[in-house]
Structure 1
Amino acid sequence: MGDYADFCESYGGSAGDPEFMDRWLEENVYPYNEDEEREWYLENENKPHYQLLMEQLESVDIMLDLDVPEKAKFSFLVMVQAHVVSATEGYLAGVFIHHVCNSDELTRKLVETDPEFAKRKFTLKEIYQEKDALKVTVATYLKDLIFHDVKKIKSMYQAVLSHKFENLSWLFRAVELRHHCVHRAGYDKEGKMIDISVESILELLGDVTDLANEIDTTIDNLSSVL
């Protein structure tokens, strides 16, 4: 299968090497730089997040049709699982940050309803300084939360955007699997391979699409009253 072989060769690997995907993930997916991530969100918060997510999901759908060698298939699916969940978290972050940071009303809602901001104390001088940098502070704070705490995101979406998630159990499971993918290359704490397949990822794509459609409807309704 030429596509996968070409992909491997472009990164100095071989399609017949079952460890290639693990190394590729380590070099290209695992590295994390907080300053770079924050910069990315602040620079890209105006992009069409729904469209970007749909394009990413479509690319995954295409990837799943690739004829991956059996020896590399598990590592390939580990990479794809991590990508889908990261794309979903990026979408949730992007949508929330964009709308909150572009609305004084929503920013105020966040500050008034989030316990983290209630704990913060400022001097009179700091209040004026913080006011000027409030949206950067909010964006930075939200970026960290969106990536790591689905339960927190659920309550924030409802409190600030008035969006109620009916069922996120599938996302909790997907995030847990992504953790195994990123930190243990697809193995759980007991050293067992995670249960992952083309079918499970296709089901995840469907769940993510439904989630995005629901949020998009909420945002449309929200935009009409702000």
Structure 2
Amino acid sequence: MGIVKALMMEMEEAQWEASDVTFFCPECKSEVDGTVELPIVYDNGDSTHLPVNVRCFSGGHSFDGWVKTDWDSCEIELDDYPEKTIITDPMRGFASDYDDYDHEYYEWLEQQELLSRPVYRAFNQTISDVKALTAQVLLDDQSQMLARMLLAQSITALEAFLADTLILTVANHPKAQEKLLGSKSLGIGSKKFELADAIGVEDFAKTRLLEYLRAVSFHDVQKANSLFRVGLGINILPEGKELELIQKAIKMRHDCVHRNGVDRETGELHQIDQGLLLRLATTLENLVRTVDQKVDEIETPM
């Protein structure tokens, strides 16, 4: 490894913290206050020799230099003024000081990684918008029109997430394809084709499998669960009241889309309040987060 690359890696791995410093500024020709970011040193660590930048508050001057620091001392030598040495206190730390910070940082970093995935990000954006608009929902006729739209969109967001997640994952995992095509309970692989159907079709079985998955109605969560369970070994459905709420919302969504919000069993218009929409949004967020994490844990390739 080259010296420059090794130095860059050492700088990236070091933990830094801003420190006030008083020094003789070669440009101002006087003692001034300033600031510099120093590498944190630990009681059980070795000395550190890294490049730094010292800034003068009085004249706004900036000086590149090198800091040599350990637990007991800290000296900075300026590149253009090697005869001027700045003596300051070392930036001391203890091994446990940054545990909580690091934990929070990596949790945040993991969340950013999740949100960077288009399928997951699209769902979260939709549900975030639904929750924001829910504040406008009352029980008057005009508000109920909005409520029906928000409920239907929530279930549509779930359907799109499940479909895109399964199809994209299966498309990139040959073993998942084998499991789905070989499942007797699903019967996907038992469909018969003429040999002529395969002419000019690259990876014929995979192509037909993906066509099948694209035709599935993923708001049929029981069927969706079977596909996830067989192909990826994942159970996507919650239990108890959460599952009951999702199933209730799916039924209401059908009435909202196909019967203008009228309950097909009672003949009455569904009344959808803020509480129902918010509970549904939270339940769907929990389901999607769990599924996304489980899919992310699948080995690549399977």
Common fold: TM-score over 0.5: yes
For residues 96-152 of structure 1, the C-alpha deviation after alignment (integer angstroms, 9 at most, x for no partner) is 011011222211211112533243123445456665344443233213323352211
1:203 is matched with 279
For residues 67 and 155 of structure 1, do their structure 2 counterparts lie closer, same or farther at Cα, with a shift above 3 Å needed? Answer: closer
1:157 is aligned to 2:228? yes
**Aligned counterparts of 1:185 and 1:105: Cα–Cα separation in 2:** 43
The structure with more radius of gyration: 2
For residues 61-81 of structure 1, the C-alpha deviation after alignment (integer angstroms, 9 at most, x for no partner) is 111123779330111101111
For residues 131 and 112 of structure 1, do their structure 2 counterparts lie closer, same or farther at Cα, with a shift above 3 Å needed? Answer: farther
1:48 is matched with 118
2:209 is matched with 138
1:119 counterpart (167, 190, 213): 190
1:79 is matched with 149
What's the CA shift for 1:176?
0.7
1:65 is aligned to 2:135? yes
What's the CA shift for 1:50?
1.0
For residues 143 and 123 of structure 1, do their structure 2 counterparts lie closer, same or farther at Cα, with a shift above 3 Å needed? Answer: closer
**Aligned counterparts of 1:131 and 1:117: Cα–Cα separation in 2:** 19
Q: Is the 8 A contact 1:75 1:185 kept in 2?
A: no
- Please report the TM-score for the alignment, with normalisation by the length of structure 1: 0.71
Q: Is the 8 A contact 1:78 1:181 kept in 2?
A: yes
**Aligned counterparts of 1:135 and 1:205: Cα–Cα separation in 2:** 34
2:169 is matched with 99
Q: Report the residue type matching 2:250 in the other structure.
A: V
Q: Report the residue type matching 1:178 in the other structure.
A: R
2:180 counterpart (96, 110, 113): 110
**Aligned counterparts of 1:90 and 1:214: Cα–Cα separation in 2:** 16
- Please report the TM-score for the alignment, with normalisation by the length of structure 2: 0.54
- Which structure shows the higher helix fraction? 1
**Aligned counterparts of 2:210 and 2:301: Cα–Cα separation in 1:** 23
Q: Is the 8 A contact 2:155 2:253 kept in 1?
A: yes
**Aligned counterparts of 1:117 and 1:69: Cα–Cα separation in 2:** 45
Structure 2: unaligned runs, 5 residues or longer? 1-116
2:298 is matched with 222
**Aligned counterparts of 1:174 and 1:148: Cα–Cα separation in 2:** 10
Q: Is the 8 A contact 2:159 2:218 kept in 1?
A: yes
**Aligned counterparts of 2:196 and 2:139: Cα–Cα separation in 1:** 62
- Which structure shows the higher strand fraction? 2
**Aligned counterparts of 1:205 and 1:83: Cα–Cα separation in 2:** 10
1:194 is matched with 270
Structure 1 range deviating more: 144-153 or 205-214? 144-153
Secondary structure, counterpart of 1:146 in structure 2? coil
Q: Report the residue type matching 1:205 in the other structure.
A: A
**Aligned counterparts of 1:174 and 1:200: Cα–Cα separation in 2:** 9
What's the CA shift for 1:153?
0.9
For residues 166 and 148 of structure 1, do their structure 2 counterparts lie closer, same or farther at Cα, with a shift above 3 Å needed? Answer: closer
Q: Report the residue type matching 1:111 in the other structure.
A: L
**Aligned counterparts of 2:129 and 2:238: Cα–Cα separation in 1:** 27
Q: Is the 8 A contact 1:110 1:160 kept in 2?
A: yes
1:182 is matched with 257
Equivalent pairs, count? 180
**Aligned counterparts of 1:141 and 1:224: Cα–Cα separation in 2:** 23
